[in-house]
Chain A
Amino acid sequence: MAEEVKLLGMWAISYNRRVERALKLKGIPYEYIEEDLSNKSNLLLQLNPVHKKILVLVHNGKPIVGSLVILEYIDETWKTNPLLPQDPYERAIARFWAKFIDEKIQPTARSANLAEGEEREKAVEECCEQLKMLENELKGKSFFGGDAIGYLDIAALVIAFWFEVVRDVVGLDLVTEKRFPSLCRWIGKLQDVDVVNQCRPPKEKHVNYIRAGYEATKAAASN
């Protein structure tokens, strides 16, 4: 039976990129369906009725939701180029840090980007403490996955490129060479990885999108 893989997503969302990179790493052909956030398709609402959020992988008609859940599904279904390490402890560590990125680093970074003055300083300090933990996890390796990118690199890519785009919008540079030399070296190495580059949205378009989003959030907050 021919495999049918579809990805419902939105070009600017970093979680989207995670799934696309995983699919490309495994050489899995897929159909990408761009969703309009302001006008969610019936297909999306049918497939993701609980959260109604963008990003659904559909494999032979069955939906899978949640970027990290999707990554694990992809790794378990297509065995070439494994994303997660084989050892159970290494797997637990990779999962732990991916969760940490989503539940701690991303929200704190977002707070830092949206806040001003003392509030921003506090958020930046907290985010840097969290990034330092991730920096330590690299432990002199080229990638979190070792010699090649893996599950945690894919999850952490948001720090590499989305942070860079946001820096251009709000002027806040979180991942500096001085603070995080290992993370910066890792970001440098990522630039040479094909699947990483193939899945980067056009920079200017991305910057404008993030800027519009932040301005809308700020306007809503001040009303």
Chain B
Amino acid sequence: MEKSDLKVKVLGTWSSPFVMRARIALNMKSVNYEFLQERLWEGKSERLLKSNPVHKKVPVLIHGDKLICESLIIVEYIDEVWPSAPSILHSDPNERAIARFWAAYLDDKWFPSMRSIGFARGEDEKKAAIAEFEKGLVLLEKAFGNCRKGKPFFGGDQIGYLDIAFGCFLGWLRVTETTSGIKLLSEAKTPALINWAHRFCSDAAVKDVMPDTEKLAEFAKMIASKRRGEAPPKS
């Protein structure tokens, strides 16, 4: 049997930006997959612990009998197993290196700085967290200008690896804007990224997996109450 014909499953949650990456990549390649939803707020299932014993995290891509973990590694795997157009990564090694660099920056620095806004205690801490986060956005606005070369996406005419790596966080970015009361993507500081964000969310491979902001905000509230030890809402 051809590798690309084997059954594909994604173990994940609707709310995780990392899981979104895997789903967008599969959608881009028109690969049918079964979405196995985990209810992480109720604890980690046996299925998850068996599928990702090292990190015990989602997403996990299950391809036949193979298990692939770590969202960006999954995206590259998908691009390599289903090499037909559209390509997710650029063919030029230098473009690929730039995309990988920024994806690592997003995961190692930028997303944690966004989470810091949510966890900040008191106005001063919140202000500092927002300032740090906005510095990152300005860098990303500049990077977008450099990568896009006049085209609509980081990947060029179509969404690519870096669009996926970054765009998956837009839902949570909007939730952070709502809860902090501050416009983080703004016309003043990040005009190009605002337009990019609209285009990304409207993309055929993205729109069905990008969570609704209100639903995500409700979910965030639920998780926060659980963390504080309050009783979960009846639902």
Which residues of A line the B interface, CB within 8 A?
A: 50, 59, 62, 64-66, 69-70, 72-73, 76-77, 88-89, 91-92, 95-96, 99-100, 133
| Inter-chain contact total with CB atoms closer than 8 Å | 54
Minimum Cβ distance to chain A for residue B149 (Å): 15
Q: Is the CB of A96 within 8 A of B73?
A: yes
List chain A residues, Cβ under 8 A from B81.
88
> Are the C-beta atoms of A91 and B77 separated by less than 8 Å?
yes
Question: Which residues 124-139 of B sit at the A interface, judged by CB distance below 8 A?
Answer: 139
Of the candidates B70, B93, B139, the one having the most CB atoms from chain A within 10 angstroms of its own CB is: B93
> Are the CB atoms of B68 and A89 closer together than 8 Å?
yes
Q: Does B97 contact A (CB under 8 A)?
A: yes
B74-102 interface with A by 8 A CB criterion: 74, 76-77, 80-81, 93-94, 96-97, 100-101
Tell me the bound Cα distance from A100 to B55 in angstroms.
9
- B104 interface residue (CB < 8 Å to A): yes
Cβ–Cβ < 8 Å partners of B69 in chain A: 96
Asked whether, in the complex, the Cβ of B104 is within 8 Å of the Cβ of A96, the reply is no
Given contacts A91-B80, A95-B73, contact A50 B97 (CB under 8 A): no
| A75 (CB) vs chain B CBs: closest residue | B93
The distance in angstroms between the C-alpha atoms of A96 and B76, with both chains bound, is 12
Q: Give the docked Cα–Cα distance between A56 and B97 (Å).
A: 12
B100 adjacent to A72 (CB under 8 Å): yes
Which interface residue of B76, B96, B97 has the most chain A CB atoms within 10 A? B97
Chain B: interface size category: 20 to 34
Of the A-B pairs whose beta carbons lie under 8 Å apart in the complex, a sample of 6, sorted by A's number, is A62-B94, A66-B101, A69-B101, A73-B97, A91-B77, A95-B73
Cβ–Cβ contact B101 & A92, under 8 A: no
List the A side residues contacting B96 at CB < 8 Å.
72-73, 76
Given A50-B105, A66-B104, A99-B70, CB of A92 within 8 Å of CB of B76:
yes
In the bound complex, do residue A73 and residue B54 qualify as a contact, i.e. CB atoms below 8 Å apart? Answer: no
Contact of B97 among A70, A95, A99, A100 (CB under 8 A): A70
Partner of A65, one of B68, B93, B101: B101
Residues of B within 8 A of A50 (CB): 105, 139
Q: A96-B70, A133-B54 are in contact. Are A89 and B77 (CB under 8 A)?
A: yes
A88 and B97 in contact, given A99-B73, A133-B54 (Cβ under 8 angstroms): no
Give chain A nearest CB distance to B199 CB in angstroms: 25
What CA separation (Å) do A95 and B68 show in the bound complex?
11
CB pair A100–B93 under 8 Å, yes or no, is: no
Please state if B73 and A92 are interface contacts (CB–CB under 8 Å). yes
Decide if A69 touches B104 in the complex (CB within 8 Å). Answer: yes
A76, B66: Cβ atoms closer than 8 Å? no
Q: How far is B3's CA from A95's CA once the two chains are assembled, in angstroms? A: 20
Q: How far is the CA of A6 from the CA of B104 in the complex (A)?
A: 23
Closest chain-B Cβ to A106's Cβ sits at a distance in Å of: 14
In the assembly, what is the distance between CA of A72 and CA of B101, in Å? Answer: 11
Chain A residues positioned under 8 Å from B68 (CB to CB): 89, 92, 96
B83, closest chain A residue (CB): A88
Q: Point out the residues of chain B lying under 8 angstroms from A65, CB to CB.
A: 101
13 additional A-B pairs beyond A88-B3, A88-B77, beta carbons within 8 Å, are A64-B101, A70-B97, A72-B96, A72-B97, A73-B93, A73-B94, A76-B96, A77-B93, A88-B81, A89-B66, A91-B80, A95-B70, A99-B70
